[in-house]
Amino acid sequence: NNLDTLYRQVIMDHYKNPRNRGGIEGDTLTVNMNNPTCGDRIELQMQVEDGKISEAKFSGEGCSISLSSASMMTEVIKGRPVEEALELADIFSKMMQGEDYDDEKFDLGDIEALQGVQKFPARIKCATLAWKAMEKGLNNEEE
Ligand code: FES
Ligand code: FES
């Protein structure tokens, strides 16, 4: 069906042409997160200025789902206030659990296509890896 096709296209697009892959020079919020099931890991770096995420980049090794999800995640949080990024993480987590979520407040762009991952429950951890890193980093920042 359409969601399956979209899912594959969006994942391949972000996997082949990752947005925001690399590192950031200087003072950054750096979070390492691994998927215990497979050992894959990503490193996420964010720069927060005046309560806004001015820059976000990721590196590391992982499967196509985890890396494409990191690409989409960094794309959607860049330039946003910290609290909006955390709201988005909440929406994404609901999406992954098949719960109802607010699809009107934000332009969710490509990330909605990741719902296709629900057909492969073992891969949900792959899709959420980068999002967990983002939440962890920003929650520590706020303390
Ligand atoms: Fe990623 Fe199994 S942990 S596919
Ligand atoms: Fe390891 Fe997907 S198989 S993160």
Domain borders along the chain are 2-142
Q: How far apart are CA 87 and CA 67, in angstroms?
A: 21
- C-alpha triplet 124, 114, 48: angle, nearest 5°: 90
Alpha carbon nearest to ligand 2 atom 3, residue: 63
Q: Is the CB of 35 under 6 A from ligand 1?
A: yes
Q: How far apart are CA 27 and CA 46, in angstroms?
A: 9
Q: Is the CB of 38 under 6 A from ligand 2?
A: yes
Residue of 61, 50, 51 whose CA lies nearest to 130: 61
How many other CB atoms are found less than 10 A from the CB of residue 99?
Answer: 9
Q: How far is the CA of 33 from the centre of ligand 1 (A)?
A: 14
Q: What is the CATH code for 2-142?
A: 3.90.1010.10
Q: How far is the CA of 81 from the centre of ligand 1 (A)?
A: 31
What are the tens digits of pLDDT across the range 46-97? 999 999 999 999 999 999 999 999 999 999 999 999 999 999 999 999 999 9
What are the tens digits of pLDDT across the range 24-35? 998 899 999 999
How many other CB atoms are found less than 10 A from the CB of residue 30?
Answer: 13
ipTM of the complex: 0.75
